[in-house]
Amino acid sequence: MRNNTTDRREFLRQSAAGVTGAALVGAAQATTRRDDPPKPADKKPTQFLIACMTLPYSQFPLQRALTGLKAVGYRHVAWGTSHREEDGMKAVMPADAAPEKARELGKRCRDLGLEPVMMFSNIYPEAKNALEVFRSRIKQASAAGMGQVLTFGHTKGGNRKLWVERFKELGPLARDHNVLIVVKQHGGETGTGAVCAEIVREVDHPSIKVNYDAGNVMDYLRVPPDKVLADMRACATEVRSFCIKDHRDFPPPHGDCGPGLGEIDHYRLLAPVAFTGLTIPLCCENIFAPRVPRPTKPEGVDALARRAREFLELVIQGLQA
């Protein structure tokens, strides 16, 4: 028969355990933030295509950019704007180039083991010749077998009404060529993902979508990282690709940098689109380190490109585990 002392000890032990358990539950609840993404039920994981733009290699020949990216493990590539060749800076793809030229460059990428996923339009939607250039870019992208043409507005602002009119006109052509026009943030009146999403929803065409550039939002609008993440959530349903760049305010001066080297939480950035069932390219636009001089040799760019890829791979694995 148990005595009263034993009973009291057992009562105190169970009470302490109960208090500790309640404290642990409370602590767990306290660490759950309001912006934590809901746990996916039957949604399929997003197929993220980790690509690097050739843009970080702009001071070196395009061929060196392509071979370097393949050597450090990339399977997807986004075309930059221009590269320093033997006879000076040359456009990767001139706006007036025939689709056949883009088809040849697409084949050149694939022969190296790189699938092209995106190209720059190199034109503001409000420019006088925008429709002409966009039609050419759509045909080039289609010939190259790449799915997206990237555009953005002037840093001083755009003409939203004109954007909507032109995108409505371009949507059917893009659809017929199996190409998306994606609009990213670039300061001014179209500097947030939320505004870009509003424009896309007003256009209301499946071939006109949003590209998200967190570094640009933080840089041009000077907003803190948590506001960037809130902006991303506001446009997540329209996002079909990312221009990957980070941003750091400290130590000064502020500036863009490679993913994981700045102040943007890429786990929270990508979480809203981690289980969409869609294919979403992540195109590294800036891979450089804050305050550190940029490499003068292509091997230095190779190393930074590899680091960016490995960082994004770890983030995706963590989100979709």
Residues in Cβ contact with 273 at an 8 Å cutoff, skipping those fewer than 6 apart? 46, 236, 239, 280
Residue type (1 letter), 195 = V
- Does residue 32 belong to any structural domain of this protein? no
**Cα separation of 321 and 319, whole Å?**
6
Cβ-based burial of 11 (10 A; exposed 0-12, middle 13-18, buried ≥19): exposed
The structure tokens listed for 179 are 């190409």
- Does residue 115 belong to any structural domain of this protein? yes
- Does residue 9 belong to any structural domain of this protein? no
Q: What is the pTM of this model?
A: 0.88
CATH number at residue 63: 3.20.20.150
**Cα separation of 194 and 58, whole Å?**
31
The structure tokens listed for 252 are 């000064």
- Does residue 34 belong to any structural domain of this protein? no
Which residue range forms the structural domain that includes residue 122?
Answer: 39-320
- Does residue 135 belong to any structural domain of this protein? yes
pLDDT average per 10 residues of sequence, the chain (321 residues): 47 42 37 51 90 98 98 98 97 98 98 98 96 98 98 87 97 98 95 97 98 97 97 98 97 96 98 98 98 97 98 98 92
- Does residue 250 belong to any structural domain of this protein? yes
Q: What is the pLDDT of residue 36?
A: 55
Residues in Cβ contact with 6 at an 8 Å cutoff, skipping those fewer than 6 apart? none
Put residue 136 in one of left, alpha, beta given phi > 0 → left and psi -120 to 50 → alpha. Answer: alpha
Q: Where do the H-state alpha helices sit in 204-321?
A: 214-221, 225-235, 266-270, 298-320
**Cα separation of 298 and 61, whole Å?**
10
- Does residue 4 belong to any structural domain of this protein? no
Q: With CA atoms as reference, report the closest residue to 30 among 39, 41, 22, 40.
A: 22
| Cα angle: 65, vertex 73, 290; to 5 degrees | 65
Q: With CA atoms as reference, report the closest residue to 278 among 236, 232, 250, 240.
A: 240
* 92-123 core/surface letters (b: 16 or more CB in 10 A; e: else): bbebebebeebeebbeebeeeebbbbbbbbbb
- Does residue 128 belong to any structural domain of this protein? yes
Total of domains in the chain:
1
The Cα-based distances of 3 to 6, 9, 131, 184, 197 in angstroms read: 6, 10, 91, 75, 72
